[in-house]
Amino acid sequence: MVGAVNEYLLDIQGLDVSFKGQQGIAHALRGVDLTLRPGEIHALVGESGSGKTVTSMCILGLLAMPPGRINHGHILFLNRDLVQLDESERRRIRGRDIGMVFQEPGKYLNPAFKIGDQISESLTVHLGLERKSANARARELLDLVGLTDTPRILKSYPHELSGGMKQRAMIAMAIACRPALLIADEPTTALDVTLQLQILELLVRLKNRLTMGILFISHDLAVVKEIADRISVIYAGKIIESANKKKLFENPLHPYTILLLLSIPDAAKRGRRLKAIPGSVPDAERIPAGCSFHPRCPLAENECRRIIPPDVNYEDSHRAACLQIGKKWITS
C-alpha cells in the first residue's frame, strides 16, 4: 500500500508503460507487480521483447519520455515512489542507492577515459570524496571484484581489458557507493561458460558482503537457477508466474514456465531433441486479446482467447496467471 511502511526494498505495483510509435501505441508493460526484499536476489526472466529491460529502465528513471510513458503504477524503493520524483532526485539515487550492471560492458564503459577515472567519478559525484580518497577506494573496489594487478587496470582504457575484466570493472563501478539495490541486466550473456559462473559467484559474494538486494534480469533459467532466491517470469509485459526458486523449478504452474524449463539443455536429455516454444513473443503493438500466450500455448481453450487470466496466489506466494492450471498434458 502506497504511503505505508513497506517491508520490501523494492515494490513495483501495477506498472503500466507504453510507447508511441509510427504504427500506433506499443504496450510494453501491462500492470507489472514485483517485490524484492533486502538481501534477496530476485530474477526477472523472459524472452527478448517481454519487458525486462523496460522494467529496469523505469526503476532507474532512464525511460525516454517521450516516446515512452508511465501510464500508471508505483515503484516504491526504500518507501519512496520513484515514479513521483523529479529528475534531480532520481539522479541522486541513481548510481548511489541503485547500481546498474549492463549486458555488454564495452558499450557502457567510456572508451575515452581510464577505468580508474570512471570508478572514481561516482565516488566524487555521489559521496563527495576528494580525488586521492576516490582513487584509493577505486583500488579497493577492484580488489573486491577479484581483479589483480590493480595499478595497471586503473590506468587502462576499456579496450585494453578482456570481456570478463570489463564486466568486473563495471560491477566495481556499480557497487562503488554501496547501493541498497543492484540491477544486473543480462550480466553474463556475452561471456563464456567459465566466466559466467565466476561472475555469478561474485554477485552472490558481493550481495552477502554488502547486504544489498539484486534484481537479476535474464532470459536463461539455467543461469537463474545458480543465483536466484525468487523468480518472476514475464511475458508480453506481464508477470505470469512468480515463486521462490525451489517451488518454481519443482512445481511450475504456467505452461510458458514449463516449456521454458523443458528447453534447458541437460546431460540427462543427451541425444533427445529439446522442447521448443513455437512462435515468438507478440509485438507490443499487437498483443492478442485474452491471455497473451494463447497463440503459442498447447493448453489454450476458447476462454483463453477471450479472458485475461487473473493473478492467483496458489500456495506460499507462488502466484500464476493461467486459466488452465492443473490440466494434464505431455511435458517430456
* Domain of residue 264, CATH code: 3.40.50.300
Report DSSP state, residue 9. Answer: S
Domain that includes residue 273, residue range: 1-38+48-91+221-332
Whether 109 is in a domain gets the answer no
- The larger pLDDT score, comparing residue 248 to residue 326, is at 248
Instruction: Tell whether the torsion through CA atoms of 251, 241, 179 and 64 is positive or negative.
Output: positive
pLDDT digits (tens, 9 = 90+) for 91-107: 889 989 999 998 777 78
7 φ, ψ (degrees, to nearest 5): -75, -10
Residue 134 within a domain: no
Domains held by the chain: number: 1
The reply to whether 268 falls in a domain is yes
Is residue 210 in a domain?
A: no
Whole-angstrom CA distances from 50 to 115, 131, 162, 292 are 33, 42, 30, 11
Whether residue 295 contacts residue 326, with contact meaning beta carbons closer than 8 Å, is answered with no
For residue 33, tell me if it sits in a domain: yes
Q: Is residue 172 domain-resident?
A: no
Q: CB–CB of 207/171 below 8 Å? A: no
Alpha carbon separation from 110 to 135, 137, 178 (Å, rounded) = 18, 20, 22
- Secondary element (H or E) of residue 259: helix 255-262
Is residue 122, in this structure, part of any structural domain at all?
no
Residue 1 predicted with pLDDT over 50: no
* Mean predicted confidence (pLDDT) in 37-60: 94
pTM above 0.75, yes or no: yes
Listed residue (131, 174, 120, 169) closest to 149, CA to CA? 169
Across the range 266-290, mean pLDDT stands at 80
